[in-house]
Amino acid sequence: MKEAKANLAINNLIKDVSKGFDADKVVDQLQQIRTLALEEEDPTIVKICRLASEYISENGNFDVGYVADEEIGEMTDMEYLLELMLKVDRPVNREEIQEIRDRIKEDLY
Q: Which long-range contacts (CB under 8 A, 24 or more apart) does 94-102 make?
A: 94/44, 97/44, 97/45, 97/48, 98/44, 99/66, 100/48, 100/64, 100/66, 101/44, 101/47, 101/48, 101/51
Determine the pLDDT at residue 2. 85
Question: Taking the domains of the chain in order of start, what are their residue ranges?
Answer: 4-108
Determine the pLDDT at residue 56. 98
Checking phi first, is residue 41 left (phi over 0); if not, alpha (psi -120 to 50) or beta?
left
Q: What is the model's pTM?
A: 0.94
Determine the pLDDT at residue 7. 95
Q: pLDDT tens, 18-61?
A: 999 999 999 999 999 999 999 999 999 999 999 999 999 999 99
